[in-house]
Protein backbone atom coordinates (compact mmCIF):
# COMPACT_ATOMS: atom_id res chain seq x y z
CA UNK A 1 0.00 0.00 0.00
CA UNK A 2 1.39 3.39 -0.95
CA UNK A 3 1.35 6.41 1.35
CA UNK A 4 -1.18 8.04 -0.96
CA UNK A 5 -3.52 5.08 -0.54
CA UNK A 6 -2.87 5.06 3.21
CA UNK A 7 -3.93 8.69 3.53
CA UNK A 8 -7.23 7.56 2.02
CA UNK A 9 -9.87 10.04 0.96
CA UNK A 10 -7.64 12.96 1.89
CA UNK A 11 -5.26 11.97 -0.88
CA UNK A 12 -8.00 11.04 -3.32
CA UNK A 13 -9.67 14.42 -2.89
CA UNK A 14 -6.42 16.24 -3.60
CA UNK A 15 -4.44 14.03 -5.97
CA UNK A 16 -4.05 15.28 -9.51
CA UNK A 17 -3.60 12.89 -12.39
CA UNK A 18 -0.35 13.54 -14.22
CA UNK A 19 1.38 11.68 -16.98
CA UNK A 20 4.76 12.29 -15.43
CA UNK A 21 5.96 9.82 -12.83
CA UNK A 22 8.54 11.47 -10.60
CA UNK A 23 10.75 10.16 -7.83
CA UNK A 24 11.46 12.30 -4.80
CA UNK A 25 14.18 12.68 -2.16
CA UNK A 26 13.28 14.65 0.98
CA UNK A 27 16.29 16.23 2.70
CA UNK A 28 15.87 17.60 6.24
CA UNK A 29 12.48 15.85 6.17
CA UNK A 30 11.37 16.43 9.75
CA UNK A 31 8.09 14.64 10.39
CA UNK A 32 7.35 14.66 6.66
CA UNK A 33 5.05 17.58 5.84
CA UNK A 34 6.66 18.20 2.46
CA UNK A 35 6.64 14.49 1.69
CA UNK A 36 2.87 14.38 2.21
CA UNK A 37 2.48 17.28 -0.18
CA UNK A 38 4.67 15.50 -2.73
CA UNK A 39 2.75 12.24 -2.40
CA UNK A 40 -0.59 14.00 -2.78
CA UNK A 41 0.70 15.39 -6.06
CA UNK A 42 1.64 11.98 -7.42
CA UNK A 43 5.36 11.99 -6.57
CA UNK A 44 6.87 8.79 -5.20
CA UNK A 45 9.06 9.81 -2.26
CA UNK A 46 11.74 7.13 -2.45
CA UNK A 47 14.22 8.46 0.11
CA UNK A 48 14.39 10.86 3.04
CA UNK A 49 17.10 12.11 5.42
CA UNK A 50 16.44 13.26 8.99
CA UNK A 51 18.75 13.35 12.02
CA UNK A 52 16.28 14.07 14.86
CA UNK A 53 15.19 10.78 16.45
CA UNK A 54 11.63 11.78 17.30
CA UNK A 55 10.97 13.30 13.88
CA UNK A 56 12.50 10.25 12.21
CA UNK A 57 10.23 7.97 14.26
CA UNK A 58 7.21 9.97 13.12
CA UNK A 59 8.35 9.85 9.50
CA UNK A 60 8.71 6.06 9.62
CA UNK A 61 5.32 5.70 11.29
CA UNK A 62 3.61 7.47 8.39
CA UNK A 63 5.76 6.80 5.32
CA UNK A 64 6.14 3.04 5.17
CA UNK A 65 7.49 2.83 1.62
CA UNK A 66 10.12 5.56 1.91
CA UNK A 67 13.69 4.60 2.77
CA UNK A 68 14.73 6.93 5.59
CA UNK A 69 18.34 7.61 6.53
CA UNK A 70 18.44 8.72 10.16
CA UNK A 71 21.77 10.50 10.25
CA UNK A 72 23.54 13.83 9.90
CA UNK A 73 23.29 15.05 6.31
CA UNK A 74 27.02 15.74 6.41
CA UNK A 75 27.50 11.96 6.54
CA UNK A 76 25.27 11.29 3.53
CA UNK A 77 27.47 10.77 0.48
CA UNK A 78 24.78 10.37 -2.17
CA UNK A 79 25.77 6.78 -2.92
CA UNK A 80 22.94 5.68 -0.61
CA UNK A 81 20.33 6.48 -3.26
CA UNK A 82 21.29 3.53 -5.47
CA UNK A 83 17.77 2.37 -6.27
CA UNK A 84 16.67 5.55 -8.03
CA UNK A 85 15.50 4.73 -11.54
CA UNK A 86 17.59 7.03 -13.72
CA UNK A 87 15.07 6.59 -16.56
CA UNK A 88 12.48 8.43 -14.46
CA UNK A 89 12.48 12.16 -13.68
CA UNK A 90 13.49 13.05 -10.14
CA UNK A 91 13.15 15.88 -7.63
CA UNK A 92 15.14 16.75 -4.53
CA UNK A 93 13.36 18.91 -1.96
CA UNK A 94 13.73 20.11 1.59
CA UNK A 95 14.38 23.01 3.93
CA UNK A 96 17.67 23.22 5.85
CA UNK A 97 17.22 24.28 9.51
CA UNK A 98 15.70 27.73 9.44
CA UNK A 99 16.10 28.99 13.02
CA UNK A 100 19.00 31.20 12.01
CA UNK A 101 16.98 32.84 9.25
CA UNK A 102 13.81 33.48 11.24
CA UNK A 103 12.77 37.08 11.77
CA UNK A 104 11.86 36.12 15.36
CA UNK A 105 15.37 34.84 16.09
CA UNK A 106 17.52 37.96 15.96
CA UNK A 107 20.24 36.41 18.15
CA UNK A 108 21.25 33.74 15.63
CA UNK A 109 20.27 35.60 12.48
CA UNK A 110 23.74 36.06 11.01
CA UNK A 111 26.45 34.36 8.98
CA UNK A 112 28.27 33.09 12.09
CA UNK A 113 25.48 30.64 13.01
CA UNK A 114 26.76 27.26 11.79
CA UNK A 115 23.23 26.00 11.09
CA UNK A 116 22.91 28.75 8.51
CA UNK A 117 25.48 26.95 6.37
CA UNK A 118 23.78 23.55 6.17
CA UNK A 119 22.28 24.58 2.85
CA UNK A 120 25.72 23.86 1.37
CA UNK A 121 25.18 20.18 2.23
CA UNK A 122 21.91 20.39 0.32
CA UNK A 123 23.75 21.63 -2.76
CA UNK A 124 26.48 19.02 -2.39
CA UNK A 125 23.86 16.29 -2.73
CA UNK A 126 22.06 18.11 -5.54
CA UNK A 127 25.31 18.19 -7.53
CA UNK A 128 25.86 14.52 -6.80
CA UNK A 129 22.34 13.42 -7.81
CA UNK A 130 21.61 15.97 -10.57
CA UNK A 131 17.80 15.70 -10.29
CA UNK A 132 15.46 17.25 -12.87
CA UNK A 133 13.99 19.60 -10.24
CA UNK A 134 14.98 20.94 -6.85
CA UNK A 135 12.83 22.71 -4.26
CA UNK A 136 14.47 24.69 -1.48
CA UNK A 137 12.00 25.76 1.21
CA UNK A 138 12.68 28.16 4.05
CA UNK A 139 11.35 31.03 6.12
CA UNK A 140 10.74 34.42 4.56
CA UNK A 141 13.55 35.77 6.75
CA UNK A 142 16.07 34.23 4.36
CA UNK A 143 15.32 37.16 2.03
CA UNK A 144 16.49 39.63 4.67
CA UNK A 145 19.26 37.91 6.65
CA UNK A 146 22.63 39.63 6.20
CA UNK A 147 21.00 41.98 3.66
CA UNK A 148 20.03 39.08 1.42
CA UNK A 149 23.45 37.41 1.52
CA UNK A 150 22.10 33.92 2.13
CA UNK A 151 19.50 34.22 -0.61
CA UNK A 152 22.22 35.24 -3.05
CA UNK A 153 24.34 32.28 -1.96
CA UNK A 154 21.45 29.86 -2.49
CA UNK A 155 20.65 31.26 -5.94
CA UNK A 156 24.33 31.10 -6.91
CA UNK A 157 24.43 27.50 -5.69
CA UNK A 158 21.54 26.59 -7.98
CA UNK A 159 23.16 28.36 -10.93
CA UNK A 160 26.52 26.67 -10.40
CA UNK A 161 24.74 23.31 -10.34
CA UNK A 162 23.10 24.07 -13.68
CA UNK A 163 19.58 25.07 -12.60
CA UNK A 164 17.26 27.81 -13.79
CA UNK A 165 15.65 29.29 -10.69
CA UNK A 166 12.40 30.91 -9.62
CA UNK A 167 11.55 32.02 -6.10
CA UNK A 168 8.41 33.26 -4.42
CA UNK A 169 6.88 33.70 -0.98
CA UNK A 170 3.57 31.91 -0.48
CA UNK A 171 1.00 32.39 2.28
CA UNK A 172 -0.38 29.00 3.29
CA UNK A 173 -3.87 30.46 3.89
CA UNK A 174 -4.15 31.12 0.14
CA UNK A 175 -3.86 27.39 -0.49
CA UNK A 176 -6.47 25.98 1.86
CA UNK A 177 -4.45 25.87 5.08
CA UNK A 178 -6.26 27.44 8.08
CA UNK A 179 -3.15 29.38 9.05
CA UNK A 180 -1.38 32.52 7.85
CA UNK A 181 2.18 31.36 7.37
CA UNK A 182 4.60 32.82 4.82
CA UNK A 183 7.20 30.45 3.39
CA UNK A 184 9.89 31.00 0.79
CA UNK A 185 10.22 28.50 -2.05
CA UNK A 186 13.17 28.48 -4.44
CA UNK A 187 12.59 26.11 -7.34
CA UNK A 188 15.28 25.03 -9.77
CA UNK A 189 14.83 23.32 -13.14
CA UNK A 190 17.61 21.36 -14.86
CA UNK A 191 15.85 21.93 -18.18
CA UNK A 192 15.69 25.72 -18.30
CA UNK A 193 12.14 26.17 -17.01
CA UNK A 194 11.38 29.32 -15.01
CA UNK A 195 8.46 28.18 -12.86
CA UNK A 196 5.58 30.67 -12.47
CA UNK A 197 4.26 31.22 -8.95
CA UNK A 198 1.32 28.88 -8.17
CA UNK A 199 -2.08 30.54 -8.39
CA UNK A 200 -4.07 30.82 -5.19
CA UNK A 201 -6.59 28.03 -4.71
CA UNK A 202 -8.64 29.68 -1.92
CA UNK A 203 -9.94 33.22 -2.15
CA UNK A 204 -12.02 32.48 0.95
CA UNK A 205 -9.67 31.38 3.71
CA UNK A 206 -10.41 28.41 5.96
CA UNK A 207 -10.97 29.59 9.53
CA UNK A 208 -9.89 28.14 12.87
CA UNK A 209 -13.51 27.26 13.69
CA UNK A 210 -13.94 25.41 10.39
CA UNK A 211 -10.73 23.50 11.03
CA UNK A 212 -11.33 22.43 14.65
CA UNK A 213 -15.12 22.07 14.80
CA UNK A 214 -15.33 18.26 15.19
CA UNK A 215 -12.19 17.45 17.19
CA UNK A 216 -12.43 15.90 20.68
CA UNK A 217 -13.36 18.16 23.59
CA UNK A 218 -10.31 18.49 25.82
CA UNK A 219 -9.13 20.09 29.04
CA UNK A 220 -5.88 21.53 30.32
CA UNK A 221 -3.30 18.75 30.63
CA UNK A 222 -5.32 16.03 28.86
CA UNK A 223 -3.06 13.09 28.07
CA UNK A 224 -5.27 10.40 26.47
CA UNK A 225 -3.77 9.97 23.02
CA UNK A 226 -6.68 8.41 21.11
CA UNK A 227 -10.21 9.77 21.38
CA UNK A 228 -13.46 9.77 19.48
CA UNK A 229 -14.49 12.90 17.65
CA UNK A 230 -16.91 15.23 19.42
CA UNK A 231 -19.35 15.38 16.51
CA UNK A 232 -19.76 14.68 12.82
CA UNK A 233 -17.59 16.77 10.56
CA UNK A 234 -19.68 19.50 8.97
CA UNK A 235 -17.21 21.72 7.16
CA UNK A 236 -15.45 20.78 3.96
CA UNK A 237 -12.04 21.16 5.57
CA UNK A 238 -12.86 19.00 8.61
CA UNK A 239 -14.26 16.29 6.33
CA UNK A 240 -11.12 16.41 4.23
CA UNK A 241 -8.78 16.05 7.23
CA UNK A 242 -10.87 13.41 8.95
CA UNK A 243 -11.85 11.21 6.00
CA UNK A 244 -13.79 8.21 7.37
CA UNK A 245 -12.07 7.96 10.78
CA UNK A 246 -14.12 7.68 13.96
CA UNK A 247 -11.16 8.30 16.31
CA UNK A 248 -7.98 10.31 16.10
CA UNK A 249 -4.63 10.37 17.89
CA UNK A 250 -2.36 12.99 19.49
CA UNK A 251 -5.11 14.56 21.60
CA UNK A 252 -2.63 15.70 24.23
CA UNK A 253 -2.38 19.14 25.82
CA UNK A 254 0.39 20.74 27.89
CA UNK A 255 -0.59 20.97 31.56
CA UNK A 256 -0.34 24.64 32.50
CA UNK A 257 -0.28 25.86 36.09
CA UNK A 258 -3.27 27.55 37.68
CA UNK A 259 -1.69 30.99 37.35
CA UNK A 260 -1.27 30.46 33.60
CA UNK A 261 -4.89 29.35 33.25
CA UNK A 262 -5.98 32.44 35.19
CA UNK A 263 -4.10 34.59 32.70
CA UNK A 264 -5.84 32.83 29.80
CA UNK A 265 -9.25 33.74 31.21
CA UNK A 266 -8.62 37.46 30.68
CA UNK A 267 -7.65 37.21 27.01
CA UNK A 268 -10.33 37.69 24.31
CA UNK A 269 -10.08 36.22 20.83
CA UNK A 270 -7.27 37.99 19.00
CA UNK A 271 -5.90 39.36 22.28
CA UNK A 272 -2.53 38.67 23.88
CA UNK A 273 -0.52 39.22 27.07
CA UNK A 274 -1.46 42.90 27.10
CA UNK A 275 -5.00 41.91 28.15
CA UNK A 276 -3.71 40.20 31.30
CA UNK A 277 -4.02 42.22 34.53
CA UNK A 278 -0.63 43.44 35.71
CA UNK A 279 -0.88 41.69 39.08
CA UNK A 280 -0.98 38.34 37.24
CA UNK A 281 2.26 39.15 35.39
CA UNK A 282 4.37 40.10 38.40
CA UNK A 283 6.78 37.19 37.89
CA UNK A 284 8.00 38.87 34.68
CA UNK A 285 10.87 41.29 35.28
CA UNK A 286 9.49 43.56 32.58
CA UNK A 287 6.23 42.31 31.07
CA UNK A 288 6.24 45.17 28.56
CA UNK A 289 9.09 43.41 26.74
CA UNK A 290 6.90 40.41 25.88
CA UNK A 291 6.36 40.13 22.13
CA UNK A 292 2.84 40.26 20.70
CA UNK A 293 2.76 36.53 19.92
CA UNK A 294 2.87 35.54 23.60
CA UNK A 295 -0.45 34.50 25.15
CA UNK A 296 -2.33 34.98 21.87
CA UNK A 297 -5.84 33.57 21.76
CA UNK A 298 -6.78 32.42 18.28
CA UNK A 299 -9.77 34.00 16.53
CA UNK A 300 -12.48 31.55 15.48
CA UNK A 301 -13.47 33.40 12.33
CA UNK A 302 -9.99 33.82 10.84
CA UNK A 303 -7.10 31.56 9.90
CA UNK A 304 -4.65 30.91 12.73
CA UNK A 305 -1.50 32.93 13.23
CA UNK A 306 1.74 31.00 12.70
CA UNK A 307 1.72 27.84 14.80
CA UNK A 308 5.50 27.67 15.30
CA UNK A 309 6.46 26.81 18.88
CA UNK A 310 2.87 26.93 20.10
CA UNK A 311 3.67 25.69 23.61
CA UNK A 312 6.43 28.24 24.25
CA UNK A 313 4.30 31.04 22.78
CA UNK A 314 1.31 29.79 24.76
CA UNK A 315 -1.16 29.96 21.90
CA UNK A 316 -4.64 29.69 23.37
CA UNK A 317 -7.60 27.74 22.08
CA UNK A 318 -10.23 30.14 20.67
CA UNK A 319 -12.96 29.21 23.18
CA UNK A 320 -11.31 27.04 25.86
CA UNK A 321 -8.91 28.31 28.53
CA UNK A 322 -6.07 26.00 27.58
CA UNK A 323 -3.32 25.52 25.03
CA UNK A 324 -3.74 23.73 21.73
CA UNK A 325 -3.57 19.97 21.55
CA UNK A 326 -1.07 18.39 19.17
CA UNK A 327 -3.93 17.25 16.94
CA UNK A 328 -5.50 20.71 16.87
CA UNK A 329 -2.18 22.25 15.85
CA UNK A 330 -1.75 19.53 13.23
CA UNK A 331 -5.19 20.37 11.81
CA UNK A 332 -4.13 24.02 11.55
CA UNK A 333 -1.05 22.85 9.65
CA UNK A 334 -3.19 20.68 7.27
CA UNK A 335 -1.87 17.31 8.44
CA UNK A 336 -4.56 14.68 7.85
CA UNK A 337 -5.95 13.06 10.99
CA UNK A 338 -4.54 9.71 9.82
CA UNK A 339 -1.06 11.14 10.38
CA UNK A 340 0.35 10.23 13.81
CA UNK A 341 3.14 11.98 15.69
CA UNK A 342 5.65 10.04 17.82
CA UNK A 343 7.70 10.99 20.87
CA UNK A 344 6.98 12.96 24.03
CA UNK A 345 4.49 15.82 23.93
CA UNK A 346 7.31 18.35 23.62
CA UNK A 347 8.80 16.56 20.61
CA UNK A 348 5.38 16.19 19.01
CA UNK A 349 4.69 19.90 19.41
CA UNK A 350 8.06 20.74 17.90
CA UNK A 351 7.48 18.48 14.91
CA UNK A 352 4.12 20.06 14.16
CA UNK A 353 5.41 23.60 14.51
CA UNK A 354 8.50 23.00 12.35
CA UNK A 355 6.63 21.35 9.49
CA UNK A 356 5.79 22.76 6.09
CA UNK A 357 1.98 22.65 5.76
CA UNK A 358 1.28 19.68 3.46
CA UNK A 359 -1.37 21.50 1.40
CA UNK A 360 1.05 24.36 0.77
CA UNK A 361 3.78 21.96 -0.33
CA UNK A 362 1.26 20.18 -2.55
CA UNK A 363 0.51 23.40 -4.45
CA UNK A 364 4.21 23.84 -5.26
CA UNK A 365 4.67 20.25 -6.40
CA UNK A 366 1.55 20.37 -8.56
CA UNK A 367 2.88 23.48 -10.25
CA UNK A 368 6.15 21.71 -10.98
CA UNK A 369 4.36 18.69 -12.45
CA UNK A 370 2.34 20.96 -14.73
CA UNK A 371 5.57 22.30 -16.24
CA UNK A 372 7.47 19.01 -16.36
Give the whole-angstrom CA distance, residue 23 versus residue 91: 6
Residue 304 has phi, psi (to 5 degrees) of: -70, 155
Q: Are 255 and 220 in contact (CB under 8 A)?
A: yes
The residue among 10, 11, 93, 78 whose CA lies nearest residue 45 is 93
Q: Known catalytic residue: 290?
A: no
The contacts of residue 339 (CB under 8 Å, 6+ apart) are 7, 36, 62, 330
Give the whole-angstrom CA distance, residue 110 versus residue 97: 14
Give the whole-angstrom CA distance, residue 185 versus residue 154: 11
Give the whole-angstrom CA distance, residue 239 versus residue 15: 16
Q: What region does 281 belong to: left with phi over 0, alpha with psi -120 to 50, or beta?
A: alpha
The residue among 157, 161, 159 whose CA lies nearest residue 130 is 161
> From the candidates 67, 98, 248, 290, which is the catalytic residue?
98
Q: Are 155 and 165 in contact (CB under 8 A)?
A: yes
Instruction: Please list the active-site residues.
Output: 98
Amino acid sequence: MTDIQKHGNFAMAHAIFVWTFMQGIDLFSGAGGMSIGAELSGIDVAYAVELDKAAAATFRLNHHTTCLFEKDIRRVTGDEFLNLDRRQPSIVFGGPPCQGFSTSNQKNRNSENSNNWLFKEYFRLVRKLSPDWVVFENVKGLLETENGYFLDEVLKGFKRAGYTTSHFVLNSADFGVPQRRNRLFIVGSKHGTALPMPEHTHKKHVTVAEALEDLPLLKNGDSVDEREYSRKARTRYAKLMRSDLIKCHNNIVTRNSEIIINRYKHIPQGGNWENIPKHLMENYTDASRCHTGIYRRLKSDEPSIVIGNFRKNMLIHPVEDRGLSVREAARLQSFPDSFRFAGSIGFQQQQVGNAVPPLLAKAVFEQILKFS
